[in-house]
Structure formats: C-alpha cells, structure tokens
C-alpha cells in the first residue's frame, strides 16, 4: 500500500485534533484490562526487550530520581525503580485512570509501593519543577499527544541539565520488503486479531493508523532538538 493511500486512510480514521485528547484517554481506559497481553502480542513479544533498552539508555543510577511519562500500566517505571533502588525515586504519570489503577495494583502485587509512585498528569503540563528529575522516559506515547514540541519541551524542562530523555516508539521499516510485511501485519492483522480479543477493534485500528501520520525518525529528531534537547540520536 502506497504511503499516500495510507495517509489518506489514516486521516479518515483518526480523530480530529480537537477531539484527540478525549478520544485517546477514553480509548486507553477502555482497553486497560487487556493492554499488557495485547501489547505483547502486537509487538510479537519484543515490547519487553524494547522497554529494557529504554531503561538502559536512561542511564539512571542508585539514588536517582526518574520520571516515566504516559506510564500506562507501569512496566518502564518498575524497571527504573529496580535501577535507582530504595534510595531513589520513580514517578509514573498518565492521564488514563484505568491505566493508573492497573499500575497501582501491580505495585501492590510486586511489593513496590514504596519504590514507585503513580499519579494522574497531563504530559503537556507536567506538575513538576524545573530539573526535578535525573531522567525521563516515555514509551509508545508520542503518537497520542496533540502537541509534540510541547510534549518534548515539558520532558526537557523537568530533567536536570545533563540528564537524559528517552523516547521509545515504533517506526515503519525503510526497506520495501520489510515495509510490506510490516504494513500487512500492523494495518490488517493487528486490528482483526486484537480487536476481537480486546473487544475494541476501533482502538486497534487507531493504534496502527496513528503511526502513519507520525513524524519519521529524522523529523522527530529535529522536533526534539528544537524543544531544547541536545545530542539527539
């Protein structure tokens, strides 16, 4: 499928910019109970490895303070907490109450209530001071915000000078053969299979199509640099 066709299709499927925040919030609250299992299936089991990669690149140490934005059910936040230890602090924020409820339940089940804190927050208006954290991470959420420059600017603001911001996201392959396979799986099989399993085909139609209109790697790097982040790679 040609890029122009994909973009035209995505523009018809995705919510209008003025409706996007409310749509995304309701969608993630609705799929929260099945999110972990289906995310693992959608990524062919690679999501856990990708999250470990993000945490390694955050380079947090014992005693550090770390922030996980759009934390979902908290998997990256828990991994960060294990690295900063009891002397450190990890905060996970999200604007989906359903996701936060599951993250809190996981923290209780894993005995990590004292090591990681979850709270509601808008990623475009983080309720923290300048330089409060040594690192900030975000996984698979950039496609869901309404203002990417502000999104990255806020993460930069709350991280101290010399700290790190790590953005984990899916991108479409560049090689034609892999791109064709990716499009078949991501745009056709994922909505069909996961929509049935989750009982929400709309959500798993939105997720692949949100990638279509998302900036490519080079454009995204420029947006991050324009937001004040340095040594973007």
Quick check: 47 and 55 in contact, CB under 8 A?
no
For residue 7, what pLDDT is reported? 65
Task: Kindly report the pTM of this predicted structure.
Answer: 0.87
For residue 10, what pLDDT is reported? 61
For residue 5, what pLDDT is reported? 65
CA-nearest of 65, 86, 77 to 135 is 65
Q: What is the average pLDDT across 28-34?
A: 86
Quick check: 125 and 146 in contact, CB under 8 A?
no
User: Buried b vs exposed e over 89-102: b needs ≥16 C-beta within 10 Å?
Assistant: bbbbbbbbebbbeb
For residue 131, what pLDDT is reported? 98
- The structural domains of the chain, with segments of one domain joined by +, span 46-172+216-226
Query: 178-197: per-residue pLDDT in tens?
Result: 667 776 776 667 667 665 66
Quick check: 144 and 169 in contact, CB under 8 A?
no
Q: In CATH, what number does 46-172+216-226 get?
A: 3.40.50.150
Query: 93-147: per-residue pLDDT in tens?
Result: 999 999 999 999 999 999 999 999 999 999 999 999 999 999 999 998 998 999 9
């Amino acid at each position: 499928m040609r890029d122009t066709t994909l973009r035209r299709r995505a523009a018809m499927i995705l919510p209008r910019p003025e409706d996007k925040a409310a749509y995304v919030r309701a969608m993630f609250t609705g799929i929260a109970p099945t999110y972990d299992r289906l995310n693992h299936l959608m990524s062919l089991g690679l999501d856990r490895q990708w999250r470990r990669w993000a945490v390694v690149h955050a380079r947090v140490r014992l005693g550090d303070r770390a922030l996980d934005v759009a934390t979902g059910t908290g998997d990256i936040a828990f991994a960060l907490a294990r690295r900063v230890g009891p002397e450190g602090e990890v905060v996970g924020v999200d604007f989906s109450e359903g996701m936060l409820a599951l993250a809190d339940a996981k923290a209780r089940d894993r005995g990590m209530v004292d090591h990681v804190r979850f709270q509601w927050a808008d990623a475009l208006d983080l309720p923290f001071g300048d330089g409060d954290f040594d690192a900030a991470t975000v996984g698979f959420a950039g496609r869901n915000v309404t203002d990417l420059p502000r999104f990255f600017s806020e993460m930069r603001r709350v991280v101290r000078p010399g700290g790190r911001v790590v953005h984990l996201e899916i991108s479409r392959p560049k090689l034609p053969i892999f791109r064709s396979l990716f499009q078949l799986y991501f745009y056709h099989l994922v909505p069909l299979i996961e929509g049935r399993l989750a009982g929400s085909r709309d959500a798993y139609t939105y997720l692949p199509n949100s990638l279509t209109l998302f900036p490519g790697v080079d454009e995204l790097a420029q947006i991050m640099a324009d937001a004040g982040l340095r040594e973007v790679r």
